[in-house]
Chain A
Amino acid sequence: MASLQMAALLSAPSTPVTSDRVRLGPLRLSASSSSAARNGGALVVRSEAKVSGGGVSARGLSLITHAVAEKAAAASSADSKPGHELLLFEALREGLDEEMERDPTVCVMGEDVGHYGGSYKVTKGLATKYGDLRVLDTPIAENSFTGMGIGSAMTGLRPVVEGMNMGFLLLAYNQISNNCGMLHYTSGGQFKIPIVIRGPGGVGRQLGAEHSQRLESYFQSIPGLQMVACSTPYNAKGLMKAAIRSENPVVLFEHVLLYNLKERIPDEEYVLSLEEAEMVRPGEHVTILTYSRMRYHVMQAAKTLVNKGYDPEVIDIRSLKPFDLYTIGNSIKKTHRVLIVEECMRTGGIGASLRSAIIDNFWDYLDAPILCLSSQDVPTPYAGTLENWTVVQPEQIVAAVEQLCK
């Protein structure tokens, strides 16, 4: 079973592969491509577990629906443990690598993604494997290379555009708002834009105001865009693959401080749903909705809360636009109390939209006002103390839950 090294002991395991919401793709048993060899077009997979119906071409793998049975087969093998451990940035790379291998129209564009391997090493090694055109090192021209990604998406490619820091994508706002979000509509459905725009954002360790921005609140009004935020290696890989396969333009928010999270993820191929939220810890007393790095502050607070006798239900909403009203609603119908914990600024943030969505849909189920803990409306200061007070800390979460449950 997958488990997070950093999460509190009380967290539930990540969504198991057998969930009916997770689509299962063709079976792959080798995680790192370096252990597989090409043999006349067929990908020969080497792994500890034996597989029936072995090597087929990388693109022509037929859908194997009995991944559960495969897990049993893997478990029966004496020396293999299911899954493999990796860091979050490696999980992103694995997802990207698998999709690039599967579909030759998938390409990467961004600053230093090629020879440098990406500022956070998400694309390390891909340029050597796929060439300089498929992993394109761009000049420093965000608006134009994002527009270039959009133009190539309209003409048959599936680009993954990396913002070296999400904040830099402010320079690409013209293209993201006007073209990425709009062109499918203004063309009357003639052109689709299957682009993924991704990069690290969020408040880091004293990176200064401009490198500590949360663009999810700026992008959320753009019609035609989907936004997801990953928080674990498991969902990072799954969301990366889902975003690439989606016909819609998707913005994938990663967080600077989460790239070195370690987790054991399945060997089998899996793709997560872009629109679904993730149940992190089931509970009874209060629904805590969060995403990205704040998930870990929430889980830390959950430890304290459990010791104090509370039973919080923690949901990582993952899909920032649109919201998964089913998972969220079911939780509210059970607990009747909602706390939103986010890293966005208070004004116009994701929490603000989530609050109004909850009021619109679940007003009758609420026993208390919805509390929302957000970052201060402040340009993130450099000083460590000030920076800590800018974002939500576990003590504040504990206090908020206590207030809600009074």
Chain B
Amino acid sequence: MAAFSAVKIPPPQFTTVRSSSQRPGSSPAHFAHSPSAFNSISFGSAKSVRSRPLFAVSSDVVSSSDKTKPASSSASNPAVTREVALELYEDMVLGRAFEDMCAQMYYRGKMFGFVHLYNGQEAVSTGFIKLLNQSDKVVSTYRDHVHALSKGVPSREVMAELFGKATGCCRGQGGSMHMFSAAHNVLGGFAFIGEGIPVATGAAFSAKYHHEVLKQSKPEGLDVTLAFFGDGTCNNGQFFECLNMAQLWKLPIIFVVENNLWAIGMSHLRATSDPEIWKKGPAFGMPGVHVDGMDVLKVREVAQEAIARARRGEGPTLVECETYRFRGHSLADPDELRKPDEKAHYAARDPIIALKKYIIEHGLASESELKSIDKKIDDVVEDAVEFADSSPLPPRTQLLENVFADPKGFGIGPDGKYRCEDPLFTQGTAQV
């Protein structure tokens, strides 16, 4: 598909902003479609925050089907079926409602620590993950609740994990930033940015190994791994090292950049020499795509192609999703640096409202049907809270249970028996 070759992104190419004294030969920086936005950026004054985002362009390239049609005539040609539209809607509403409930519960003292909410970014999670099979893998960051929910981890288990209860998906041992599910192939949940990307690369390597060495092939193709991470991570070494290795060995992985323009209080433009992250894909030989991450249908279209590529063994894709988080970096972030007009701009592009509008305009469902989905999700989230509230806290005996997969790793005690055979160990009262 056209979207996937960097060459096909329309010229002129973006040239890096530098003062002309550094690069005598380069033309002054300009960028098609939003020149006024760009001219306000000059070397050294990167602190100016523009009112419009820089990259509101390439998404049009992706959904080429709508480009030449006026909005009204596309009503007869919905991009998705009713079933899919409702599935997407429900998943995004679940993500939003769940995160809103997290905020409530946090302020009521039911969950603690660092909690990073996904409000506003639902289109990325839903757009990608709803295309996956059960055996495909998802690797995320600390902003992982909604990735886990989209992949199928029950809301009850995620909420209980957040409450630190023994019934949580990680027995209360992981918390908000470490959502894991073996049953649903969610491989975390990582607190340090970038450290999940090599793990995702390993899962993709494993998929290739199972196919080529173990000869365990599937009719649909290779199992795909999605690695989600943010704009801040794209300046981290592990990102680049894994882009190289994934392309080198043509691993079935998709690097999904959730570029919400901010890494806590650090604007992407202040941190990055060349802010167009999708360009870093072709630098390593893989396609780099930019997509409007506030539009779930566009994300899904891009995801479909990227996943198909990976399944066929053609290798990785770098997808940059332009998106935005409506809340602060975490519930402890006062969020003072982002300008109100930037927030307003993206609030007007709320992915859920946009999909709702699309569904109604294309006659895929009625308003009341969508409202009933809203109500259903509210019940699901309420139930999750009740379940988490009534679940037990982990007992003392749980403390040492999962340190080692093989508890012989605790060693041999003075009496000659393995420490793990000591009854005090299972009671949780032995000293390690």
Contacts and interface: CB of A to CB of B under 8 A. Distances in A.
Do A and B share a complex?
yes
Interface of A: 104-105, 107, 131, 133-134, 138-139, 141, 143-157, 174-175, 178-179, 183-194, 223-224, 226, 246-248, 274-276, 319, 321-327, 329, 361-362
B195 A276 contact: no
B205 A148 contact: yes
A184 B206 contact: no
B189 interface: yes
Contact of B202 (A154, A190, A248, A322): A154
B391 interface: no
Nearest to A159: B202
26 contacts: A107-B209, A138-B245, A139-B244, A139-B248, A141-B244, A141-B245, A143-B241, A144-B238, A144-B241, A144-B242, A146-B198, A147-B201, A154-B199, A155-B137, A179-B195, A184-B404, A186-B170, A187-B180, A188-B170, A189-B402, A189-B405, A246-B409, A322-B411, A324-B411, A325-B411, A326-B416
B405 A247 contact: yes
A358 B409 CA distance: 19
Interface string B358-376: 0000000000000000000
A146 B198 CA distance: 8
B213 A323 contact: no
Contacts of B416: 326
B12 interface: no
Contact of A134 (B173, B182, B213, B237): B213
Contacts of B201: 144, 147-148, 151
B414 interface: yes
A226 B178 contact: no
B401 interface: yes
Nearest to A142: B241
Interface of B: 137, 139, 168-175, 178, 180-182, 187-192, 195, 197-210, 212-214, 237-238, 241-242, 244-245, 248, 401-406, 408-416, 418-419
Nearest to B411: A322
Pick the most buried of A153, A189, A226, A319: most chain B CB atoms within 10 A of its CB: A189
Contact of A223 (B139, B214, B403, B415): B403
A146 B238 CA distance: 11
A151 B203 contact: yes
Contact of A191 (B182, B191, B212): B182
Contacts of B170: 186-188, 190
Contacts of A131: 213
B210 A156 contact: yes
A178 B188 contact: no
A147 B199 contact: yes
Pick the most buried of A134, A153, A155: most chain B CB atoms within 10 A of its CB: A155
Given A184-B403, A248-B405, A179 B414 contact: no
B418 A151 contact: no
Nearest to B185: A155
Contacts of A150: 198-199, 202
A323 B238 contact: no
Given A141-B245, A145-B245, A275 B412 contact: yes
A134 to B, nearest CB: 6
A147 B403 contact: no
Given A133-B209, A152-B203, A248-B404, A185 B245 contact: no
Contacts of A193: 405
Contacts of B237: 143-144
Given A145-B245, A192-B405, A154 B238 contact: no
Contacts of A153: 202
B408 A275 contact: yes
A186 B213 CA distance: 30
A96 to B, nearest CB: 16
Contact of B187 (A191, A321, A329): A191
A224 B403 CA distance: 5
A326 to B, nearest CB: 4
